[in-house]
Protein backbone atom coordinates (compact mmCIF):
# COMPACT_ATOMS: atom_id res chain seq x y z
CA UNK A 1 0.00 0.00 0.00
CA UNK A 2 1.24 3.56 -0.67
CA UNK A 3 2.37 5.65 2.27
CA UNK A 4 -0.11 8.18 3.67
CA UNK A 5 -0.30 11.30 1.59
CA UNK A 6 -0.21 14.88 2.78
CA UNK A 7 -3.58 16.66 2.71
CA UNK A 8 -4.85 17.92 -0.61
CA UNK A 9 -3.46 21.36 -1.35
CA UNK A 10 -3.63 21.43 -5.09
CA UNK A 11 -1.69 24.38 -6.39
CA UNK A 12 -1.28 25.88 -9.84
CA UNK A 13 1.95 26.03 -11.72
CA UNK A 14 0.35 29.06 -13.29
CA UNK A 15 1.70 29.18 -16.84
CA UNK A 16 0.63 32.37 -18.58
CA UNK A 17 -0.59 32.97 -22.10
CA UNK A 18 -3.58 32.80 -24.37
CA UNK A 19 -5.40 29.45 -24.44
CA UNK A 20 -5.69 29.93 -28.17
CA UNK A 21 -2.00 30.36 -28.88
CA UNK A 22 -0.41 28.35 -26.10
CA UNK A 23 0.61 24.71 -26.66
CA UNK A 24 -2.29 22.53 -25.49
CA UNK A 25 -0.31 20.89 -22.69
CA UNK A 26 0.15 24.27 -20.95
CA UNK A 27 -3.36 25.66 -21.36
CA UNK A 28 -4.63 24.23 -18.11
CA UNK A 29 -1.41 24.65 -16.12
CA UNK A 30 -3.17 25.41 -12.87
CA UNK A 31 -2.51 22.41 -10.65
CA UNK A 32 0.65 20.88 -9.36
CA UNK A 33 1.21 20.94 -5.61
CA UNK A 34 0.01 18.15 -3.29
CA UNK A 35 -2.65 16.35 -5.33
CA UNK A 36 -5.42 14.29 -3.81
CA UNK A 37 -4.12 10.91 -4.86
CA UNK A 38 -1.00 9.30 -6.20
CA UNK A 39 -1.03 8.63 -9.90
CA UNK A 40 0.21 5.14 -10.54
CA UNK A 41 1.28 3.55 -13.74
CA UNK A 42 4.33 3.02 -15.84
CA UNK A 43 5.93 5.17 -18.49
CA UNK A 44 9.44 4.17 -19.44
CA UNK A 45 11.77 6.90 -20.58
CA UNK A 46 14.86 5.65 -22.32
CA UNK A 47 17.12 8.48 -23.30
CA UNK A 48 20.74 9.25 -24.00
CA UNK A 49 23.20 11.90 -22.90
CA UNK A 50 26.53 13.12 -24.19
CA UNK A 51 28.38 15.81 -22.26
CA UNK A 52 31.71 17.37 -23.14
CA UNK A 53 34.48 16.86 -20.59
CA UNK A 54 36.68 19.73 -19.49
CA UNK A 55 40.10 19.68 -17.93
CA UNK A 56 39.00 21.47 -14.79
CA UNK A 57 36.27 18.97 -13.88
CA UNK A 58 34.92 18.80 -10.35
CA UNK A 59 35.93 16.43 -7.59
CA UNK A 60 33.45 14.82 -5.26
CA UNK A 61 34.80 16.55 -2.19
CA UNK A 62 31.81 16.86 0.11
CA UNK A 63 30.79 20.25 1.46
CA UNK A 64 30.46 20.66 5.19
CA UNK A 65 26.84 19.74 5.83
CA UNK A 66 27.22 18.91 9.52
CA UNK A 67 24.92 20.91 11.74
CA UNK A 68 22.73 22.16 8.90
CA UNK A 69 19.44 23.22 10.47
CA UNK A 70 16.51 25.20 9.22
CA UNK A 71 17.93 28.31 10.87
CA UNK A 72 21.42 27.66 9.51
CA UNK A 73 20.60 26.86 5.90
CA UNK A 74 21.91 29.21 3.19
CA UNK A 75 20.55 32.74 3.55
CA UNK A 76 20.20 35.56 1.06
CA UNK A 77 23.92 35.39 0.34
CA UNK A 78 25.24 33.12 -2.40
CA UNK A 79 24.75 29.42 -1.87
CA UNK A 80 27.90 27.41 -1.05
CA UNK A 81 29.85 26.02 -3.97
CA UNK A 82 29.59 22.30 -4.56
CA UNK A 83 31.41 19.99 -6.90
CA UNK A 84 30.92 17.00 -9.14
CA UNK A 85 32.73 14.36 -11.17
CA UNK A 86 32.70 10.49 -10.83
CA UNK A 87 30.05 8.24 -12.32
CA UNK A 88 26.63 7.39 -10.99
CA UNK A 89 24.30 4.45 -11.33
CA UNK A 90 22.41 4.08 -14.60
CA UNK A 91 19.22 6.12 -14.99
CA UNK A 92 17.04 7.72 -17.65
CA UNK A 93 18.65 10.64 -19.43
CA UNK A 94 17.50 13.46 -21.70
CA UNK A 95 16.88 12.68 -25.34
CA UNK A 96 19.04 15.57 -26.50
CA UNK A 97 22.75 16.07 -26.19
CA UNK A 98 24.12 18.58 -23.70
CA UNK A 99 27.14 19.69 -25.65
CA UNK A 100 27.93 22.77 -23.60
CA UNK A 101 30.13 23.13 -20.54
CA UNK A 102 29.96 26.00 -18.11
CA UNK A 103 33.00 28.11 -18.91
CA UNK A 104 34.16 30.63 -16.31
CA UNK A 105 33.93 34.23 -17.43
CA UNK A 106 35.09 37.49 -15.84
CA UNK A 107 32.87 39.19 -13.31
CA UNK A 108 30.92 42.13 -14.70
CA UNK A 109 29.11 44.71 -12.64
CA UNK A 110 29.09 42.51 -9.55
CA UNK A 111 27.73 39.48 -11.43
CA UNK A 112 29.57 36.33 -10.26
CA UNK A 113 31.61 34.34 -12.74
CA UNK A 114 30.03 31.23 -14.14
CA UNK A 115 30.72 28.12 -12.11
CA UNK A 116 33.24 25.94 -13.97
CA UNK A 117 33.17 22.26 -14.81
CA UNK A 118 30.98 19.96 -16.91
CA UNK A 119 27.24 20.29 -16.78
CA UNK A 120 25.57 17.90 -14.33
CA UNK A 121 24.63 14.63 -16.05
CA UNK A 122 24.68 10.88 -15.49
CA UNK A 123 28.45 10.81 -15.01
CA UNK A 124 28.75 13.36 -12.20
CA UNK A 125 25.51 13.19 -10.22
CA UNK A 126 23.79 10.49 -8.23
CA UNK A 127 25.37 7.62 -6.32
CA UNK A 128 29.17 7.63 -6.77
CA UNK A 129 30.61 4.72 -8.72
CA UNK A 130 31.70 1.84 -6.53
CA UNK A 131 29.25 2.59 -3.72
CA UNK A 132 27.83 -0.62 -2.27
CA UNK A 133 24.15 -0.17 -1.45
CA UNK A 134 22.25 -2.11 1.18
CA UNK A 135 18.48 -2.06 1.74
CA UNK A 136 17.15 0.64 4.05
CA UNK A 137 15.00 -0.88 6.81
CA UNK A 138 14.10 2.24 8.79
CA UNK A 139 10.87 4.19 8.91
CA UNK A 140 9.60 6.02 5.85
CA UNK A 141 8.83 8.99 8.13
CA UNK A 142 12.00 10.37 9.72
CA UNK A 143 11.30 11.93 13.13
CA UNK A 144 14.75 11.72 14.78
CA UNK A 145 17.04 14.72 14.41
CA UNK A 146 20.42 14.21 12.70
CA UNK A 147 19.35 10.92 11.11
CA UNK A 148 21.82 9.87 8.40
CA UNK A 149 20.82 7.51 5.57
CA UNK A 150 24.05 6.53 3.83
CA UNK A 151 24.66 4.04 1.01
CA UNK A 152 21.13 2.64 1.03
CA UNK A 153 18.46 1.58 -1.42
CA UNK A 154 15.34 3.25 -0.02
CA UNK A 155 12.09 1.64 -1.17
CA UNK A 156 9.70 4.14 0.41
CA UNK A 157 6.86 5.37 -1.76
CA UNK A 158 7.28 8.69 0.05
CA UNK A 159 10.23 9.33 2.37
CA UNK A 160 8.93 12.09 4.66
CA UNK A 161 11.28 14.33 6.68
CA UNK A 162 9.93 15.52 10.04
CA UNK A 163 13.13 16.26 11.91
CA UNK A 164 16.11 18.61 11.83
CA UNK A 165 19.47 18.01 10.15
CA UNK A 166 18.52 14.84 8.30
CA UNK A 167 21.10 13.72 5.74
CA UNK A 168 20.53 11.37 2.79
CA UNK A 169 23.75 10.59 0.97
CA UNK A 170 25.07 8.09 -1.58
CA UNK A 171 21.65 6.47 -1.75
CA UNK A 172 19.06 5.43 -4.33
CA UNK A 173 15.49 6.41 -3.46
CA UNK A 174 12.74 4.55 -5.29
CA UNK A 175 10.01 7.01 -4.46
CA UNK A 176 9.58 10.67 -3.54
CA UNK A 177 11.34 12.68 -0.82
CA UNK A 178 9.48 15.46 0.95
CA UNK A 179 9.36 17.85 3.89
CA UNK A 180 5.85 19.28 4.20
CA UNK A 181 6.34 22.94 5.09
CA UNK A 182 2.59 23.35 5.75
CA UNK A 183 2.82 21.22 8.90
CA UNK A 184 3.12 23.05 12.22
CA UNK A 185 6.69 22.87 13.49
CA UNK A 186 8.20 22.28 10.06
CA UNK A 187 10.32 25.42 10.43
CA UNK A 188 12.50 23.34 12.76
CA UNK A 189 12.98 20.54 10.20
CA UNK A 190 15.59 20.35 7.44
CA UNK A 191 17.38 17.89 5.22
CA UNK A 192 20.29 17.53 2.84
CA UNK A 193 20.17 15.23 -0.20
CA UNK A 194 23.67 14.69 -1.56
CA UNK A 195 25.27 12.34 -4.10
CA UNK A 196 21.98 10.48 -4.42
CA UNK A 197 19.49 9.34 -7.05
CA UNK A 198 15.72 9.77 -6.82
CA UNK A 199 13.37 7.83 -9.08
CA UNK A 200 9.88 9.07 -8.22
CA UNK A 201 8.17 6.98 -10.88
CA UNK A 202 4.85 8.05 -12.36
CA UNK A 203 3.01 10.20 -9.86
CA UNK A 204 1.21 13.55 -9.78
CA UNK A 205 3.58 14.79 -7.09
CA UNK A 206 7.08 16.31 -7.02
CA UNK A 207 10.03 13.97 -6.83
CA UNK A 208 11.70 16.14 -4.17
CA UNK A 209 9.90 18.82 -2.12
CA UNK A 210 8.89 21.24 -0.36
CA UNK A 211 11.63 23.18 1.37
CA UNK A 212 14.21 23.62 4.13
CA UNK A 213 16.33 21.47 1.86
CA UNK A 214 19.80 21.44 0.33
CA UNK A 215 20.21 19.28 -2.77
CA UNK A 216 23.74 18.67 -4.08
CA UNK A 217 24.90 16.45 -6.96
CA UNK A 218 21.57 14.64 -7.13
CA UNK A 219 20.13 12.82 -10.14
CA UNK A 220 16.38 13.39 -9.91
CA UNK A 221 13.76 12.04 -12.31
CA UNK A 222 10.14 10.95 -12.34
CA UNK A 223 7.19 12.71 -10.78
CA UNK A 224 5.24 15.68 -12.09
CA UNK A 225 8.06 18.09 -11.33
CA UNK A 226 11.60 17.27 -10.29
CA UNK A 227 11.98 19.69 -7.38
CA UNK A 228 9.37 21.97 -5.82
CA UNK A 229 9.89 24.67 -3.22
CA UNK A 230 6.80 25.76 -1.28
CA UNK A 231 5.93 29.29 -0.26
CA UNK A 232 6.41 28.50 3.44
CA UNK A 233 9.90 27.09 2.98
CA UNK A 234 12.69 28.87 4.84
CA UNK A 235 15.17 28.08 2.11
CA UNK A 236 15.70 25.90 -0.94
CA UNK A 237 19.11 25.16 -2.46
CA UNK A 238 19.64 23.02 -5.56
CA UNK A 239 23.21 22.79 -6.77
CA UNK A 240 25.30 20.70 -9.19
CA UNK A 241 22.26 18.49 -9.83
CA UNK A 242 20.46 16.96 -12.82
CA UNK A 243 16.69 17.52 -12.97
CA UNK A 244 15.07 15.66 -15.86
CA UNK A 245 12.87 12.75 -16.95
CA UNK A 246 9.49 13.82 -15.56
CA UNK A 247 6.70 11.32 -16.23
CA UNK A 248 3.06 11.50 -17.24
CA UNK A 249 0.52 8.85 -18.25
CA UNK A 250 -0.75 9.02 -21.81
CA UNK A 251 -4.26 10.00 -20.67
CA UNK A 252 -3.39 12.41 -17.80
CA UNK A 253 -4.02 16.14 -17.64
CA UNK A 254 -0.82 17.05 -15.77
CA UNK A 255 1.67 19.88 -16.11
CA UNK A 256 5.33 19.06 -15.77
CA UNK A 257 8.46 21.03 -14.92
CA UNK A 258 12.04 20.76 -13.76
CA UNK A 259 11.90 23.19 -10.81
CA UNK A 260 8.78 24.89 -9.45
CA UNK A 261 7.98 27.52 -6.85
CA UNK A 262 4.51 29.04 -6.56
CA UNK A 263 5.96 31.86 -4.46
CA UNK A 264 8.64 31.99 -1.80
CA UNK A 265 12.04 33.31 -0.91
CA UNK A 266 15.68 32.40 -0.29
CA UNK A 267 15.88 30.10 -3.30
CA UNK A 268 19.30 29.21 -4.69
CA UNK A 269 19.49 27.36 -8.01
CA UNK A 270 23.14 27.10 -9.04
CA UNK A 271 25.00 25.06 -11.67
CA UNK A 272 22.36 22.49 -12.50
CA UNK A 273 21.17 20.86 -15.69
CA UNK A 274 17.42 21.46 -15.69
CA UNK A 275 15.20 20.20 -18.47
CA UNK A 276 11.56 19.27 -18.78
CA UNK A 277 12.17 16.75 -21.52
CA UNK A 278 8.96 14.73 -21.62
CA UNK A 279 7.01 14.92 -24.89
CA UNK A 280 3.36 15.98 -24.80
CA UNK A 281 1.04 13.02 -24.25
CA UNK A 282 -1.98 11.94 -26.27
CA UNK A 283 -4.04 14.75 -24.72
CA UNK A 284 -1.43 17.36 -25.59
CA UNK A 285 -0.45 17.72 -21.91
CA UNK A 286 3.12 17.85 -20.64
CA UNK A 287 5.82 20.40 -19.89
CA UNK A 288 5.24 23.99 -18.84
CA UNK A 289 8.93 24.88 -18.61
CA UNK A 290 12.29 23.92 -17.18
CA UNK A 291 12.36 26.39 -14.30
CA UNK A 292 9.02 27.83 -13.20
CA UNK A 293 8.47 30.68 -10.72
CA UNK A 294 4.90 31.92 -10.21
CA UNK A 295 3.43 34.34 -7.66
CA UNK A 296 0.38 32.24 -6.79
CA UNK A 297 0.67 31.95 -2.99
CA UNK A 298 3.41 34.44 -2.06
CA UNK A 299 5.73 36.98 -3.63
CA UNK A 300 8.64 35.47 -5.54
CA UNK A 301 11.61 37.13 -3.83
CA UNK A 302 15.31 36.65 -3.14
CA UNK A 303 16.02 34.08 -5.84
CA UNK A 304 19.44 33.29 -7.36
CA UNK A 305 19.42 31.40 -10.67
CA UNK A 306 23.06 31.17 -11.66
CA UNK A 307 25.18 29.08 -14.04
CA UNK A 308 22.48 26.58 -15.04
CA UNK A 309 21.96 24.74 -18.32
CA UNK A 310 18.31 24.95 -19.40
CA UNK A 311 17.43 22.29 -21.95
CA UNK A 312 15.19 22.80 -24.97
CA UNK A 313 11.75 21.28 -25.52
CA UNK A 314 9.41 22.69 -28.15
CA UNK A 315 6.49 21.13 -26.25
CA UNK A 316 7.12 23.59 -23.40
CA UNK A 317 5.86 27.17 -23.49
CA UNK A 318 9.01 28.88 -22.16
CA UNK A 319 12.19 27.42 -20.71
CA UNK A 320 12.16 29.91 -17.81
CA UNK A 321 9.26 31.61 -16.04
CA UNK A 322 10.92 34.30 -13.91
CA UNK A 323 8.19 35.13 -11.40
CA UNK A 324 6.49 38.28 -12.74
CA UNK A 325 2.93 38.11 -14.12
CA UNK A 326 0.18 40.71 -13.88
CA UNK A 327 -2.52 38.02 -13.64
CA UNK A 328 -1.13 36.48 -10.45
CA UNK A 329 -2.27 37.26 -6.88
CA UNK A 330 1.36 38.27 -6.20
CA UNK A 331 2.23 39.75 -9.59
CA UNK A 332 5.59 41.42 -8.96
CA UNK A 333 8.73 39.44 -8.23
CA UNK A 334 11.67 41.18 -6.59
CA UNK A 335 15.36 40.48 -6.08
CA UNK A 336 15.40 37.76 -8.71
CA UNK A 337 18.94 37.35 -10.05
CA UNK A 338 19.29 35.43 -13.32
CA UNK A 339 22.96 35.29 -14.31
CA UNK A 340 25.38 33.19 -16.36
CA UNK A 341 22.81 30.64 -17.53
CA UNK A 342 23.00 28.78 -20.84
CA UNK A 343 19.85 28.11 -22.88
CA UNK A 344 19.75 25.29 -25.40
CA UNK A 345 18.25 26.41 -28.71
CA UNK A 346 16.41 23.24 -29.72
CA UNK A 347 14.92 22.45 -33.09
CA UNK A 348 13.03 25.76 -33.37
CA UNK A 349 16.03 27.79 -32.16
CA UNK A 350 13.94 29.31 -29.33
CA UNK A 351 14.44 26.75 -26.51
CA UNK A 352 10.66 26.36 -26.12
CA UNK A 353 7.54 27.01 -28.17
CA UNK A 354 7.47 30.77 -27.60
CA UNK A 355 10.96 31.60 -26.45
CA UNK A 356 13.50 31.20 -23.66
CA UNK A 357 11.94 33.36 -20.93
CA UNK A 358 8.70 34.90 -19.74
CA UNK A 359 7.97 37.03 -16.69
CA UNK A 360 11.29 38.72 -16.01
CA UNK A 361 10.73 42.34 -14.99
CA UNK A 362 13.90 44.31 -15.56
CA UNK A 363 12.39 47.20 -13.59
CA UNK A 364 11.53 45.09 -10.55
CA UNK A 365 13.27 45.94 -7.29
CA UNK A 366 16.64 44.21 -7.13
CA UNK A 367 16.06 42.12 -10.26
CA UNK A 368 19.20 41.30 -12.28
CA UNK A 369 19.54 39.77 -15.74
CA UNK A 370 23.14 39.37 -16.92
CA UNK A 371 25.46 37.11 -18.95
CA UNK A 372 22.74 34.69 -20.05
CA UNK A 373 23.59 33.09 -23.39
CA UNK A 374 22.50 30.63 -26.02
CA UNK A 375 24.43 27.37 -26.10
CA UNK A 376 25.85 28.02 -29.57
CA UNK A 377 26.37 31.80 -29.45
CA UNK A 378 24.66 35.06 -28.64
CA UNK A 379 23.02 36.65 -25.61
CA UNK A 380 19.57 35.81 -24.33
CA UNK A 381 17.57 38.93 -23.48
CA UNK A 382 15.33 39.11 -20.44
CA UNK A 383 11.66 39.91 -20.95
CA UNK A 384 10.13 42.98 -19.27
Pairing mode of beta strands 213-216, 176-178: unpaired
Range of the domain at 31: 1-384
Chain-centroid distance, C-alpha 64: 22
Distance CA 280, CA 310 (A): 18
Write the DSSP assignment of 261-311 as a string of letters.
Answer: ESSEEEEEEES-EE---PPP-TTS-EEEEEEEE--SSS-EEEEEEES-EE-
82 and 60 Cβ atoms separated by less than 8 Å:
no
- pLDDT, one tens digit per residue, over 189-241 is 999 999 999 999 999 999 999 999 999 999 999 999 999 999 999 999 999 99
Taking every pair of Cα atoms in the chain, the longest distance, rounded to a whole number of angstroms, is 55
Q: Whole-model pTM?
A: 0.77
Alpha-carbon gap, residue 306 to 107, rounded angstroms: 13
- At residue 186, the 3 state secondary structure works out as helix
As for how many domains the chain has, the answer is: 1
- Whether residue 168 is predicted with pLDDT greater than 50 in this model: the reply is yes
pLDDT tens readout for residues 22-74 = 343 333 333 333 333 333 333 333 333 333 333 333 445 444 333 333 333 33
User: Residues 350-365: what's their mean pLDDT?
Assistant: 96
Amino acid sequence: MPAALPPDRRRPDGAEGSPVTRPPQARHARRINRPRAWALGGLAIVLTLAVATVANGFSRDEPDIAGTTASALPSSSDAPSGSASSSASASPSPSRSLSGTSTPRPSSGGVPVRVGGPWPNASNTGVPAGTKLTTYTGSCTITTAKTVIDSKTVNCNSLQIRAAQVTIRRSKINGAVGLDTDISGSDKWSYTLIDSEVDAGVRQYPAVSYGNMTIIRANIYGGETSVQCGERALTCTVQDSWLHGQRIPSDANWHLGGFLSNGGHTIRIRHNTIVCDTPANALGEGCTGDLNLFGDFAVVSDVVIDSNYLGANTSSSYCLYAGDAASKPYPRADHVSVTNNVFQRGTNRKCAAYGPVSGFNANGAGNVWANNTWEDSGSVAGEN
